[in-house]
């Protein structure tokens, strides 16, 4: 079967991108192939990870492009250039508008570091999510992979995995545990699942 062409969109460290690249080399991700990385930030370490893996990385910065429409046009052009069929948001910290997401129904995945519908939506990203979970005092958190639509963190849920909070956790310690035990596992699994589904529909 021809592999589904995946673009991974990033903004920072790119550990989830690394999990996807590793899943590809270890045979966990076989139905899709990462053909492109798009970063919203020219300084993201994720770009180095892409280069090390021999995957082309392109920077599309909303700030530099001036406005949301120009930003999304640049992204759309590069996605078309590489024939991308599935987009994976892996720590991508820019919002995509409805006019963009509606062009990719059930074709954009996102990983969020909590059990949606807790600690999600506008303002909940990165460490802030774990700070909020600790401040609330929940005993279990986790990660969610979902389809992306016009509602922030509001698309259909594909996979979730729970992670226990330990006494004395800091946001940083908890973030790392959620990544190791949940995000880096369920994101490649979901990419495999949806790539296969797209492949079957071709
Ligand atoms: C991850 O924890 C990811 O779930 C989160 O940012 C981190 C990025 O890390 N994403 C969000 O909060 C999106 N709302 P990474 O760059 O090392 O993959």
Known catalytic residue at 112: yes
Secondary structure class of 106 (helix, strand, coil): coil
- Strand (E) or helix (H) holding 109: strand 108-112
Q: What is the dihedral of CA 13, 32, 156, 117, to 10 degrees?
A: -30
DSSP state of 164: E
On average, the pLDDT of the chain sits at: 97
**pLDDT tens digits for range 57-75:** 999 999 999 999 999 999 9
The answer, yes or no, to whether any atom of ligand 1 lies below 6 A from the CB of 171, is no
Q: What is the pLDDT of residue 1?
A: 81
Count of beta carbons in the 10 Å neighbourhood of residue 29: 23
**pLDDT tens digits for range 163-188:** 999 999 999 999 999 999 999 999 99
CB-CB contact of 107 with 149 (8 Å):
no
**What is the distance in A from the centroid of ligand 1 to the CA of 78?**
23
How many Å apart are CA 125 and CA 115, to the nearest integer? Answer: 13
Closest ligand 1 atom to 125 CA: 12
Nearest CA to ligand 1 atom 7: 91
Q: What is the CA radius of gyration of the chain?
A: 16
**pLDDT tens digits for range 3-44:** 999 999 999 999 999 999 999 999 999 999 999 999 999 999
Tell me what the mean pLDDT of segment 91-109 comes to: 97
Contacts of 164-171 with CB under 8 Å at 24 or more apart are 164/139, 164/140, 165/133, 165/134, 165/138, 165/139, 165/140, 165/141, 169/134, 170/134, 171/127, 171/130, 171/131, 171/134
Q: What is the pLDDT of residue 82?
A: 98
Question: Using CB atoms within 10 A of its CB, is residue 151 exposed (0-12), middle (13-18) or buried (19+)?
Answer: exposed
Question: Over pLDDT 90: what percentage of the chain?
Answer: 98
**What is the distance in A from the centroid of ligand 1 to the CA of 26?**
22
pLDDT at position 193 over 80? yes
**pLDDT tens digits for range 149-159:** 999 999 999 99
Question: Over pLDDT 70: what percentage of the chain?
Answer: 100
Q: Give the chain's end-to-end CA distance (angstroms, integer).
A: 10
The answer, yes or no, to whether any atom of ligand 1 lies below 6 A from the CB of 19, is no
Of 112, 130, 146, 177, catalytic: 112
pLDDT at position 202 over 80? no
């Amino acid at each position: 079967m021809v592999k589904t062409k995946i673009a991974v969109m990033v903004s920072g460290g790119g550990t989830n991108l690394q999990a996807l690249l590793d899943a590809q080399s270890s045979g966990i991700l076989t139905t899709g192939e990462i053909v492109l990385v798009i970063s919203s930030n020219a300084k993201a370490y994720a770009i180095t990870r892409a280069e090390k893996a021999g995957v082309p990385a392109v920077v599309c910065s909303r700030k530099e492009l001036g406005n949301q429409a120009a930003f999304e046009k640049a992204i759309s052009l590069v996605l078309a250039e590489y024939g991308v069929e599935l987009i994976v948001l892996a720590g991508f910290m820019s919002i995509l508008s409805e006019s963009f997401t509606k062009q990719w129904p059930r074709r954009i995945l996102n990983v969020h570091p909590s059990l949606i519908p807790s600690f999600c939506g506008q303002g909940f990203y990165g460490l802030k999510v774990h700070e909020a979970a600790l401040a609330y005092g929940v005993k279990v958190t986790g990660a969610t992979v979902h389809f992306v639509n016009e509602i922030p963190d509001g698309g259909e849920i594909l996979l979730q995995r729970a992670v226990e909070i330990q006494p004395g956790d800091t946001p940083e310690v908890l973030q790392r545990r959620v990544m190791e035990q949940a995000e880096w596992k369920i994101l490649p699994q979901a990419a495999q699942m949806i790539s296969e589904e797209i492949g079957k529909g071709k």
